Structure 1
Amino acid sequence: MGLDDRDALVTLRTAIDPDELISDVYTRWFALDISVRDLFPPDLAHQRAAFAKALSWLLGEIIEQRAEEPVAFLAQLGRDHRKYGVTQLHYNGLQTALLGALAHHFSDRWDHALAGTARDVVELIVGVMRGAADAEKGPPYRDAEVIDHIRATRDVSIVRLQLDQPLFYHPGQYVTVEVPQWPRRWRFLTPSIPADRGGAIEFHIRSVTGGMVSTAIIGETRIGDRWRLSNPHGGLHVDRDGGDVLMVAGSSGLAPLRTLIMDLSRFAENPRVHLFFGGRYPCDLYDLNTLWQIASTNPWLSVTPVSEFSTNPPWAADFPVTDPPRGLHVRQSGLLPEVVTRYGSWSDRQILISGGSAMIAATKAALVAKGADPQRIQHDPVVD
């Protein structure tokens, strides 16, 4: 029955464990082709967890007989994996390793039905990824040089780069980035300015506790460093015909919303946009001057600064932030989800949320509890 055998699919899904099945997949794959090991970072824990999560979701979608999203996801995965140097030959080893690991895990019950379903699942995964990668003719990545690095706050850096070749992306999309301090360890970053024909690009990066890449970017990035950027992903957007907009940004989560606002400023008429920009301390609201400049000439934009604490800590003096001229809303104190929902449910708005995973989850939950339609709430994958 293959992909129609629900019982076999459910059985396969029970095996998806990053420390057992997925670890076995990588062991088998590297044994088949030692060159594959060089495509991955030394520590595979994060890679195994991501693989397990994706495979579990994929099987869940197949069980529910939903094909469109899994196929689109696998196609994007295949296109994106070109940036790692994955070739058509590598997919042969992946197919053998994944099927072999599944057979080993279920050796006590590996009957004809389970084997057939596993073979069809693996062929679907590898076939779609391989086909999408082969069909993609553009470059798998762009290289860029750091031309400026600004420590905006203790935890946030603004890094400006010049791309060797321009990269087109829609406002609000994100890319993955590889920096010289951590080869083969790609991190999600969102451009903070719209795509530039001349190749200029800018990122706002927040240091994540325990995050090796973000910490290295903030502490070690130097002018002249060479970065590598993937092709763009994501669908965060504003529908200019879809009604007024609520935006909620925590810290460097401002970047994609800032890009969308800058893009909207090209038009004479826009839906009303109300942006809540939050940080822990007032000094964390590092880009209020830019927001003030845009709002001062675009009456459709309103900005409410929000800080969890009303006063700055002593270390803030090392990263002074100039308060913008009058024109923005008075700064509010409190947690961002609580402040946003003080104003109501925002149920009549398109809602875009950007920031850390905990902030996104809390803000979304608070808005839905107030009556906002979850189908009108957008955010990128919750990955810190």
Structure 2
Amino acid sequence: MDAPTTTSAENGTSGGGGWFTPRTAAAPVPETSPASCTSSLFEPGAPAERSAPVAQQASPDALLIRRTMAEVAPVADKATSYFYALLFVRHPELRALFPPTMDTQRDRLFKALLTAVEQFDNTPVLVDYLQNLGRGHRKYGTRPEHYPALGECLIGALSRYASAVWDGETEAAWVRAYTTISQVMIDAAAADELRAPAWWHAEVVAHELRTPDVAVLTLRPDQPYPFLPGQYTSVETPWWPRIWRHYSFASAPRSDGLLTFHVKAVPAGWVSTALVRRARPGDVVRLGPSTGSMTVDHSTDSSLVCLGGGTGIAPIKALVEDVAEHGVRRRVEVFYGARSDHDLYDIDTMLRLQQSHPWLSVRAVVDQPPARLQLPDAVREHGPWNEYEAYVSGPPGMIRSGVDALRDAGIPAHRIRHDSLEELVGVGN
């Protein structure tokens, strides 16, 4: 592709609306595989775990795009605000796809771009990330014909706020990258449309307040809902339309089809506060598709060490149930972290599971006097864990410190499972 003329967002040019013309999705492929992405965006790369480093030379387009992002990073707020301003002025019909308040949405756009840039030359991880985005965006009503407008305005914003490094070659790299990125997402959404709805309606059938700020909700979806223990979904409430937040499943799939979630109300958390303080049996929420990679590999019988902080104990409980249902005798060590005894709202459930399963050990770790033992310290104290598979769930800070502690205790990075911090932005809000 020849380098197009540099876009001027100032003079209102379209930024090349014709450049971003995705294939029709009338005959979607089952899934976009890494091998099918032939654009220069995707250079060959060895499969890697989400947390494993990628050791290979960056492609020319990757270098140009990373240079752009480095230039934009100090003014990311202005660049993303400008992007949405362009989008809503030029394409006002798209405003209805977005929530009334755009603060969180602006943050997520830049974090999504950063994630894509970080994984630019790691084809399997990047394609998996984009496919999840494409499937997840169905619940917003995103269609293939929307992507050209988004690309046009993205180029307009980048050309304005990365003007010091922006040239025809850089713009051509971004056009190639966005064209390929959008096509992966479109193909994933089209394939998903053949087998699943864009969202599920789910009725609240039970609402148990465990603490003033933590509620356990049980939902009945209007049709079968597929998921794996350790995954999470997005939830939209009737009180805040078009605002979705992520919550982990707190049990393995049940024969009655019911779903359980642990929700903590947090300051300025619109969705979480509504679910904890306003939701009652009979209310109906919407669920997006399940996603997440923190699932058990049942092809091995390796022992597991699991770290759950706060409501992060929910997916850990689901993983324990999953191991029990498969009947494989493997040691499972659970560290349940909390700031106080009061915050161990699900400890009785975990201890009952321990009584039922001799292969399970549950340790409560409370960060208050007299113990003052933090979760990473407890993990190091009871190691080594070099023969274990590890699972970490909780607030982003706890995930970081937990992963560091597990690596210090001898577990290689590729055997530590957690959902990426970018995916967890907004969890519990």
> TM-score interval w.r.t. the shorter chain?
0.7 to 0.9
Matches within 5 A, 1:346-357: 346-357=385-396
Q: SS state of the match for residue 80, structure 2?
A: helix
The answer for the alignment partner of 1:15 in structure 2 is 72
What is the deviation of 1:108? 6.8
Any residues of structure 2 matched to 1:107-118 within 5 Å, and which? 110-118=166-174
Given residue 200 of structure 1, which amino acid in structure 2 is its aligned partner?
L
Alignment deviations for residues 99-121 of structure 1 (CA, whole Å, 9 cap, x no partner) = 23233445576543223212112
1:23–1:309: structure 2 CA closer, same or farther, 3 Å change rule? Answer: same
**Structure 1 residues 10 and 239: alpha-carbon distance in aligned structure 2, compared to 1, 3 A threshold:** closer
**1:329-348 alignment, distance < 5 Å:** 334-348=373-387
Q: Secondary structure at the match of 2:243?
A: coil
Deviations 1:55-95 (A, max 9, x none): 12323433xx3323222222221111010111222222112
Check whether the contact 2:230–2:248 (CA below 8 A) recurs between aligned residues.
yes
**TM-score normalised by L of structure 2:** 0.78
Q: 2:96 aligns with which of 38, 41, 46?
A: 38
The match for 1:99 is 155
Is residue 2:262 matched to residue 1:204?
yes
**Residue in 1 that maps onto 2:338:** 279
Structure-2 separation of matches of 1:251 and 1:52: 28
**C-alpha distance in 2, partners of 1:102/1:333?**
47
Percent of aligned pairs with the same residue? Answer: 33
Partner residue of 1:121 out of 177, 180, 201 = 177
Please tell me whether the aligned partners of residues 380 and 408 of structure 2 are also in contact (alpha carbons under 8 angstroms).
Answer: no
- Pairing of 1:221-236 with structure 2 (within 5 A): 221-236=279-294
Do the aligned partners of residues 179 and 120 (structure 1) sit closer, same or farther apart at CA in structure 2, a change above 3 Å counting? Answer: same
Give the Cα–Cα distance (whole angstroms) in 2 for the partners of residues 163 and 281 of structure 1. Answer: 34
SS of residue paired to 1:184: coil
Cα distance between partner residues in 2 of 1:59 and 1:286: 39
- Of 174, 179, 189, the residue aligned with 2:247 is 189
Q: Residues 268 and 76 (structure 1 numbering): CA distance in 2 closer, same or farther, change over 3 Å?
A: closer
Preserved CA contact (<8 Å) 2:301 2:329: no
CA contact (8 A) 2:203 2:221 kept: yes
Change (3 A) 1:344 1:264: closer
Q: Structure 2: which amino acid aligns with 1:246?
A: V
Cα 1:268–1:370, aligned 2, differ >3 Å: closer, same or farther? closer
Q: What is the rounded CA distance, in whole Å, between the counterparts of 1:70 and 1:370 in structure 2?
A: 29
In the TM superposition, residue 310 of structure 1 has moved relative to its aligned partner by 5.8
Q: Distance in 2 between matches of 1:341 and 1:106?
A: 45
| Unpaired stretches in structure 2, ≥5 consecutive residues | 2-39, 42-58
Q: Give the Cα separation in 1 of the matches to 2:377 and 2:88.
A: 49
2:133 is aligned with 1:77: yes
Residue segments in structure 1 that go unaligned for 5+ positions in a row: 312-331
**Offset of 1:268 from its aligned partner?**
3.4
The structure-2 alpha-carbon separation of the partners of 1:110 and 1:279, relative to structure 1 and needing over 3 Å to count, comes to: closer
Aligned residue among 205, 212, 230 for 1:154: 212
Amino acid at match of 2:346: D
Give 1:176's aligned amino acid.
S
Going from structure 1 to structure 2, the CA distance change for 1:308 and 1:267 (only over 3 Å counts) comes to same
State the 1:50 CA deviation. Answer: 1.5
Q: Distance in 2 between matches of 1:243 and 1:132?
A: 32
Distance 1:356 1:121 in 2: 32
| 8 Å Cα contact 2:350/2:362 also seen in 1 | yes
Q: Which moved more, 1:14-23 or 1:106-115?
A: 106-115
Q: Distance in 2 between matches of 1:102 and 1:189?
A: 33
SS of residue matched to 2:354: helix
| Counterpart in the other structure of 2:144 | 88
CA distance in 2, matches of 1:296, 1:246: 18
TM-score (norm 1): 0.87
How many angstroms apart in 1 are the aligned matches of 2:314 and 2:129?
A: 25
Cα distance, 1:201 vs. partner?
Answer: 0.6
Q: In structure 2, how many angstroms separate the alpha carbons of the residues matched to 1:5 and 1:35?
A: 36
Once the two structures are TM-superposed, the CA of residue 165 in structure 1 deviates from its matched residue by 0.7
Structure with bigger RCO (C-alpha 8 Å, 6+ apart)? 2
113, 133, 146: which one pairs with 1:55?
113
Q: Amino acid of the residue matched to residue 95 of structure 2?
A: R
Which residue identity does 1:355 align to in structure 2?
G
The equivalent residue for 2:308 is 249
Is 1:366–2:423 an aligned residue pair? no
Residue 77 of structure 2 aligns to a residue in which SS? coil
Measure the CA separation in 2 of the matches of 1:114 and 1:237. 39
